[in-house]
Every structure is written in C-alpha cells, then in structure tokens.
Chains A and B, each alone.
Chain A
C-alpha cells in the first residue's frame, strides 16, 4: 500500500537557510560588465526610472498637493523608508509593501486614482523613493507584529509548488551559485527593487520578478498586491536583513 500513502504525503523541502555571513546580493553573481553598469549612475538604465520618479514626486495631481508638498525633500523624508518595507499597517492589520503605501497616499492624501501595478509611473515613483535608501541596511520584518507574516512568507518559500513541484528554497537556498541552463541561480535577496532587467528591457518590481519564478515552476500566479505575495516579499526582505539596499539594481 505504499503508493497510496505516497499520494497523501505532504511535500515539504528540508532546505537549510543560508548562514548570514554567506549571504550575497544578486550583484555578486553577475558579470563584471553588468556590475559596472549598475555601479555607474550614468550607465545604469534604472536611473531613468529614478529620474522619472523625481518628476512625479514634484508633480501635483489636479486640485491636490504633490508628494513634495507634504513630504518635502525626498532625500530627507524618504531616507531609510524603503529599507523598512513591507511594513505593518495599523489600519489594515497586516503588512503593506512600498508600492501599496505610495498608492495609499495617492488615493487617501491626493484623492487621485491609484497607479496601476507594473506601470511606468508606479515603478518610477517607487524607484525614486527606494533610491533615497541606497546603501542603508534592510530592517523590514524585524518587529514583533510582522512576525506571523514573515512566517507565512517563509512557509510559501519552502513549499513545493506547481507542475514541476519545486520550492523557492530548493533553488535559492540549496542550489544557489549553480546554473539553471544559462542562468546562475542567485540567493534571491530583493536588495535592488524596482530594478532594471536586461531581459525585460525595462524597470520592474519585485512582484514581477516573483511572478516569473512562480511561472517557471508552472504554478498558479500570485496576484499583484495579494496578501501571499506581500508575505513573500516581507520574508525575502527579512531574510536579507542587514544587507544594503541597491535600488536601482541591474540584473540579467
């Protein structure tokens, strides 16, 4: 009767977390050329999104204040903010990510329509805000209230899923540094989002990146802004705690 039992076995992976001192940003796995492109603001194509975001920061929607009208100089008011996101939101009783926070300001404080996920506008304003924290250590997920959501994200990370029946951890904890066809598997630290991906030929969000890994194992896509997606983002940020933010990163 072993086969019958096998059907009902819950698949879990026994991946071990990466020791803190062995953690490396995706930057470490790139070619010298791509690293150089990221390091030089004049060559980094992600800086175009940051510049677009700066314009949006100063741009007042009809009959409302600009972001700058309430928050002043982003270099001061937004410094360190992205390193804390996703963060626990009192009103919603759960974590929200930086894109969601910005859209709350759009709808509640500017009475303007929310920016749609993955649009040039949302990625640009998010990249601009996150760029103000470049070089600062990630602190998201380290507070008590975030704990259960970090754990929910961890469970999703460790769960085998999709037709290929693979967990995120089996690639990113157990096999980082090896090659999946032509691509080196990084450790999946979300240190540089929104980031410019050469493959996309554009700047994209962390959620977009997660969706392509989910798609790769032929699993059900996670919806943009869905609670599971934010829990996963939060877990990844917590897993990268202490590592410096690099927005806008460049990736292959």
Chain B
C-alpha cells in the first residue's frame, strides 16, 4: 500500500465526524513536500499568527525575532534562522505532526484531531490550525533566514 493510501485510511479511521475534514497529506521522509491548500501561504498573515499567543501559541514555548513581544518562552529553540535550517516541507511536517520528528516532543500537533484525550467541547474535532493557517505559518517561517 502506498503511504498516501495508508494516510487516507488513517484519517478515515481516526477522524471524528467534523464539518471540515482534514486535508490528506503525504509524508516523504522527514517532510510533507506538497502544500495542504491551493492558495499559497501568506507570510504576513503567518507572522501575525505566530506572535498571537491565543492563536499561534508559539511564543508560549519559543522565543524569536519579535522585538515588540515582551513575553517569550524558553521551553524550545529560538525561531530565528528557522528558514535556513529547514526546508518548507520539513517545516510543514514540524507543524502538522511534530511527534513524527521527536516522539517525546511537547510541541502540539497543529493539524490533527485524532488520538487526543479529554479535549474541551469547544475544541473537539477541530485541529489547532486550519490548512490555510499551516501554509501561512510555513511561508513565514521560511522567511526567517540567518
């Protein structure tokens, strides 16, 4: 069976009935090379998501080149230079399923609804990001060059 087929089967098997089903995606090695959406990611929108503590949550754990943000976390590597260290496809997998890269990671999976426990009713069946938000954030991270 191909990986895509396995993935589709996986989504069908674990995703609860949600209004908007997750887009299927294909993992190749340590990356998801193909975008999740037709509309290309918008780096400016991506930046706004990353610095927003309620939407992106990134700065709870990470620091980064955001001088206007006073409160940044130190649980995770600084995001500066991310775009030099990783390809766009690697960044996409990092957001979608961080535990593919590190099974012990505390970084949440931003595009996943299965395998979660005791999710609050308001968030049940919903991924943290929409497919478009994933693309926007990936586009922004790719601009963070050393």
Mark A residues whose CB is within 8 Å of B.
1-4, 6-9, 11, 13-14, 159-166, 170, 174-175, 178-182, 215, 218-221
Cross-chain contact of A162 among B27, B70, B119 (Cβ < 8 A):
B119
Mark B residues whose CB is within 8 Å of A.
1, 3, 6-7, 9-10, 13-14, 27, 53, 57, 59-61, 70-75, 104, 106, 108-109, 114-123, 126, 128
- A162–B120 CB distance below 8 A: yes
Query: Chain A's nearest CB lies how many Å from the CB of B9?
Result: 6
- A180–B6 CB distance below 8 A: no
* Bound complex: CA A67 to CA B30 (Å): 65
- A9–B120 CB distance below 8 A: no
What residues of A have a CB within 8 angstroms of the CB of B53 in the complex?
A: 181
- A159–B57 CB distance below 8 A: no
* Bound complex: CA A176 to CA B131 (Å): 33
Query: Chain B's nearest CB lies how many Å from the CB of A78?
Result: 36
- B115–A219 CB distance below 8 A: no
Query: Chain A's nearest CB lies how many Å from the CB of B70?
Result: 7
- A7–B114 CB distance below 8 A: yes
What residues of B have a CB within 8 angstroms of the CB of A180 in the complex?
A: 60-61, 73, 75
* Bound complex: CA A162 to CA B121 (Å): 10
- A3–B118 CB distance below 8 A: no
Query: Chain B's nearest CB lies how many Å from the CB of A95?
Result: 21
Beyond the given A163-B126, A165-B115, A175-B75, please list 7 additional residue pairs across the A-B interface where CB-CB is below 8 A: A3-B9, A14-B104, A162-B120, A179-B75, A180-B61, A181-B53, A215-B120
Interface of A: prevailing SS: loop
What residues of B have a CB within 8 angstroms of the CB of A218 in the complex?
A: 119-120, 122-123
- B118–A219 CB distance below 8 A: yes
Residue of B nearest to A220 (CB): B118
- B108–A159 CB distance below 8 A: no
Listed by A's residue number, 21 A-B pairs whose Cβ atoms lie within 8 Å are A1-B1, A3-B3, A9-B115, A161-B117, A161-B119, A162-B120, A163-B123, A163-B126, A166-B108, A175-B75, A175-B106, A179-B73, A180-B75, A181-B59, A181-B73, A182-B70, A215-B120, A219-B119, A220-B119, A220-B120, A220-B121
What residues of B have a CB within 8 angstroms of the CB of A13 in the complex?
A: 104
- A181–B72 CB distance below 8 A: yes
What residues of A have a CB within 8 angstroms of the CB of B10 in the complex?
A: 3-4, 6-7
Residue of B nearest to A166 (CB): B106
What residues of B have a CB within 8 angstroms of the CB of A170 in the complex?
A: 106
Query: Chain B's nearest CB lies how many Å from the CB of A234?
Result: 19
Residue of A nearest to B100 (CB): A6
What residues of B have a CB within 8 angstroms of the CB of A215 in the complex?
A: 120
* Bound complex: CA A190 to CA B32 (Å): 44
What residues of B have a CB within 8 angstroms of the CB of A175 in the complex?
A: 75, 106
- B120–A165 CB distance below 8 A: no
- A163–B6 CB distance below 8 A: no
- B117–A163 CB distance below 8 A: no
* Bound complex: CA A31 to CA B14 (Å): 46
- A7–B60 CB distance below 8 A: no
Query: Chain A's nearest CB lies how many Å from the CB of B88?
Result: 21
